[in-house]
Each structure stands twice: as C-alpha cells, then as structure tokens.
Structure 1
Amino acid sequence: MTQPNLNPNSPFFHEERHISLAPFVEKQITICGAGALGGNLTETLARMGFMRIKLIDKDRVEMRNLSTQPYSRAEVGAPKARALANTFYRAVQTKIEPVVVELTVANAQALLQKSDLVVDAFDNRAGRAAISETTRTQRIPCLHIGFSANGLYGNGLWEPQYQVPQEVPGDPCDYPLTRPFALMMASLAARTIIDFFRSGQRTNFEFTWRDLTITHL
C-alpha cells in the first residue's frame, strides 16, 4: 500500500515512501573522486534524487575499474566524471557537473566554492590535504570517506576532526571484496549526508568488514 499523493511513476518512488528529500535535493554536493567510493556514492545519491552534484576526478576509466566501479566496457578510456554524468542523466536526469582536472592547493578554493557539502573520496594524500585545508578555511561542511589498503576497515570523518593520513603501500581495490565493501561505505555515507541536511548532525562512522561491525561515533 502506497502513501497518498505519491507518484508511482517517479524514479525516486521508494525514497519518497520513506522520507521526503524535497527540501534538500537541490543542495550543491561536490564529490572529489570517482573511484570505488566516490563513483558508487555518486550513483547512490543520484538515484536517491539529489539533482546538483559536481564530480571532480582527473582519471579515465580503465578495464581494472569495471569490477569495483559503476562503469561499462564501452566507457573504458573516457574521463570518469563525464562517463558518470552521461550515465545518470540518461538514467534519472540528475545533472552531474563533471570536472576533469586534478584538484590541488592552487585550484581547490575555486573548485569547491558554493558547495553546500564536500565529500572527499580521493585515494591520495595531496588531494585530501588540499580539500581539508580549503574546507576548513572556507568553512564548507566536508565529509572524508576512505578505507584501508587491505580493504578491511573504512570510516567517514567530518571536518574539523579529520586528520590527513600518511601514504601507505597497497591498493584496496585489489581486495576481492572491494565492491561490496565500497557499496556498504557508500550507503553509510549517504545516510550520514541525509542526516546532515535534515538536522545539521555530523556523525562520524567506522566500519569493519571482518566482523561486520558498524560504529557511529
């Protein structure tokens, strides 16, 4: 049984049954990184109904990305940000603004300004540091998400509690369960983002894949 006044032909029908996103679907969300975390989070937010997403990533789709990220073989070689912008406009008419550049200290302020929320999903220390410094200085809400090189541990931390991690060897995307881990992280981040827009609450979280333990901090 559906709630009254709901449109069963809406692409966001299931979200509308449980919670109205209407008050904040026009918020400007800037996602930095379109890999296993950023790419899957972008898909999640687009399909939930968020309509204004800026996606910053300099990389192009590679064959090795297809097992963990929301791309197809036809998109190999294409800029990741543009590929997702095309995919989700066709799917649900979300207008993703693709920005195919490397985010640095020099351009971070220009790229992140006017954001209602920045999500850092980069996999490199320099990019994360530039985002952290800029969002703190400009007082832009920022959520950092990431997971360990062995693919067993992940977290989401808000500024100003975030500390830029040191570079460590290893690639978490080499871990066999990277995709389900990344999808879980994207789901937790999406829930955290909704809580932030609804109430202003900034909830940090940790997730341990080994024992499926989720802790809200």
Structure 2
Amino acid sequence: MTTHNNLNPNSPFFHEERHASLASFVDRPITICGAGALGGNLAETLARMGFTRLKLIDKDRVEMRNLSTQPYSRAEVGAPKARALANMLYRAVQAKLEPIVTELTAANAPKLLKESALIVDAFDNRAGRAAISETARSLHIPCLHIGFSNDGLYGSGLWEPGYQVPQEIAGDPCDYPLTRPFAQVLSALAARSIVDFFRENKSINFELTWNDLKISSD
C-alpha cells in the first residue's frame, strides 16, 4: 500500500497516487476505439491518471463542430483526431499515446486489437461496434462499450459478453447542448470501471440519465 511519505509532490499524478496507487496496472495496454466526445475525453482522463500504454484508433479529422464537446483546439482543426490528442497529451503529461489513423473494420480489427489487455469501444456507428464486439469475443479480450443516446439524455457502459450491438438511429447526440458535461460524466464512470476491472477483476456495467443527477439547492 502506498504511504504518503513515499509520494513525490512533483509527480503529475500526485493526486491519483495519494488516493490509491494504480502502479500495478497502469502499463497494461488499453486500446480506445473512437476519439470523439466519449473516446477523446476518456483517453485524456486515463492519460492524466497515469496510464502509460494507450492506443487510440480513429479515422476522423478535427472539425470546428467538435470543439464544444471534444478535447481539441482551433489550431488542430483539420488534423487527425488521434494524432492531435496524442500530441496534446504528450505536451500535457508526457503521455505516450499511440495514434492509429485508420478506419477499423471487421477485416483489420483482429490485427489492430490483438495485443490489447482491454478494449474500449467508443464508436458512434453500428459497423464499427459490431467489428469490435466480434473481435473481442473471438480473441477473448475484455471489452467495455460506452455510448449515449441520440437525444443526449442517456448513456451506458456495457461489458462483453452481455453487450448487444444497437441498431442505427438517425440523429447526432453531439448536437445536444449539454453533451460535453454528460460525456465527461460518462468518461469518468468508464475510467472508474476500468480501474475496478484491473484492480478487482470486476466488469461493472453502468447506466446514467440526467434524471439520475438530481441536485438539491435546499
């Protein structure tokens, strides 16, 4: 158990180490599929917690419309999301995130995912989610699927093998005005679920709606 006397106050991960040491598993390879409102914010959270072996797969480039929900800046508009986030996190905490700028498909998923200790699916399309689910099951790799509804009011994190690939539904949850705070809450829950998985071998599902977050001013 980490004691406060052993802590380095100059460490960028001081607060995480003070709360509970993650040292026994921060070097486990995690592959995050999708660098949008959920995947991008989750990758940033894990990097700032001290995870050292992150791979981020995304084919998209940063657009102006992404800046209100995702961890990118105006200077990065037009750049591949995965590379932009890798550069930002290296500057921030010297995290070495491996960017993979490609479309994940059923054909290349086994090669891209095979060395993962954990897969996180944060895609927003059915084909990508289906490819990840099938590959994770066939390779026996633990996998957490995170997502939220197109109205931006419901989100979940579901582990294999109980995950069912959802049908495509028209709409974009990123158009919802409260997308960023909701996505950050979901990303935080996903990070906690990942820690519980590595520390206690627990695959904890979670669901959240805005109605769950009732705040009283009394």
Which category of TM-score, normalised to the shorter sequence, fits these structures? over 0.9
Secondary structure of the structure 1 residue equivalent to 2:130: helix
Return the alpha-carbon distance in structure 2 between the equivalents of residues 90 and 158 of structure 1.
32
Q: Deviations over 1:44-78 (max 9, x none)?
A: 00000001100000000000000000000000000
Runs of 5+ unmatched residues, structure 1: none
Residue type of the alignment partner of 1:193 = I
Q: CA RMSD of the aligned region, Å? A: 0.9
Q: How many residues align?
A: 212
Runs of 5+ unmatched residues, structure 2: none
Secondary structure of the structure 2 residue equivalent to 1:144: strand
Q: TM-score scaled by structure 1?
A: 0.96
2:23 equivalent in structure 1: 22
CA apart distance, 1:178: 0.1
Q: TM-score scaled by structure 2?
A: 0.96
CA apart distance, 1:190: 0.2
Q: Does 1:107 pair with 2:103?
A: no
CA apart distance, 1:5: 1.1
Residue type of the alignment partner of 2:47 = A
Aligned positions of 1:192-211 closer than 5 A: 192-211=193-212
CA apart distance, 1:174: 0.4
Return the alpha-carbon distance in structure 2 between the equivalents of residues 146 and 211 of structure 1.
17
1:8 equivalent in structure 2: 9
Give identity over the alignment, percent: 77
Residue type of the alignment partner of 1:55 = L
1:168 equivalent in structure 2: 169
2:145 equivalent in structure 1: 144
1:120 equivalent in structure 2: 121
Residue type of the alignment partner of 1:99 = I
Return the alpha-carbon distance in structure 1 between the equivalents of residues 13 and 50 of structure 2.
6
Q: Does 1:46 pair with 2:56?
A: no
CA apart distance, 1:209: 1.3
CA apart distance, 1:211: 3.5
1:181 equivalent in structure 2: 182
Q: Deviations over 1:179-216 (max 9, x none)?
A: 00000000000000000000110000001113427xxx
